[in-house]
A = this chain, B = another copy of it.
Amino acid sequence: MIVIKIGGGAEINLEYVCADIAALAQAGKPVVVVHGTGKEADALGERVGQPAKHVTSPQGFTSRYTDRATLEVFVMAACGKVNTFLVERLQKLGVNAIGLSGVDGRLLEGTRKDAIRIVENGRQRILRDDYTGKVEKVNADLLRVLLERNYVPVIAPLAISYQSDAINIDGDRAAAMIAGALGAEQLVILSNVPGLLQNFPDESSLIAKIDKHRVEQSIGFAEGRMKKKVLGAAEALALGVRQVIFADGRVVQPLQRALEGKGTTIE
């Protein structure tokens, strides 16, 4: 079993990624896909006059500020445009994909953080009415029922809170939780960098291998979005996933290259 996280950035080549997913599915390998939404949510926000607002926590993690109006835009981009057309693209390649978000059948459940602490202009303040949270439970039964029937689940980065509010979640960490819950062997995180870089953005400083016992130390030199990916990797490994791979989603045969070790492999 492989869980594949496809980044939501602009440069990811979905044609290449989906061709590799089709090859894995045709080889009979169970696959679960989790996707990001960043670029499309930003684009839709601009089109409807509600530009995205990103905030930074005191720990230095960035996230999308999501009031109810932003949540609507995010849902339209995530569950609508990205998820449905990714499913369509995979179906064209003969993959029997089925799109879900964490809201569906309570697939991903967690605590909503309705108040978040952020740093703005060097000062901390609290934002309220936020619809974000963190995945704590995965409805693995639902995924297994689908996988047993040879469907490929394609999952949008939303969860449902214990009070049944739809919440925006981090896709990398959701993918880690899913990989852990399913006992996946591998988690491949494709983004717009070749892997974890010792000196961001110098791509020649790619770190090929990290020992699983040293992964948390890597957060120090991970930059921006990569911080959450490293956190997700640590969570997945702690849940028993054998191998986490950060790899480049912009190149031909991105999954094949990732599985051949041409990214950052953590095990």
* A residues at B contact (CB < 8 Å): 44, 47-49, 72, 75-81, 83-85, 87-88, 91-92, 96-101, 103-106, 141-142, 145-146, 149, 151, 158, 160, 163-166
- Residues of B within 8 Å of A96, CB to CB, are 105-106
- Residues of B within 8 Å of A48, CB to CB, are 44, 47-48
- Residues of B within 8 Å of A141, CB to CB, are 149
How many subunits of this chain does the assembly comprise? 2
Give A181 to B160 CA distance when docked, in angstroms.
Answer: 31
> What 5 pairs across the A-B complex have the smallest Cβ distances?
A80-B80, A76-B80, A76-B76, A98-B105, A92-B164
The distance from the CB of A75 to the nearest CB of chain B, in whole angstroms, is 5
Verify B104–A97 contact, CB threshold 8 A. yes
What DSSP secondary structure best describes chain A's contact surface?
A: helix
19 residue pairs A–B, Cβ–Cβ below 8 Å: A44-B48, A47-B48, A76-B80, A79-B80, A80-B81, A84-B158, A84-B166, A88-B103, A88-B164, A88-B165, A91-B160, A96-B105, A97-B104, A97-B105, A99-B100, A99-B103, A100-B104, A105-B146, A145-B145
- Residues of B within 8 Å of A164, CB to CB, are 88, 91-92
CB-CB under 8 A for A160 and B88, given A47-B47, A76-B81: yes
Of listed A49, A78, A83, residue having the most chain B CB within 10 A: A83
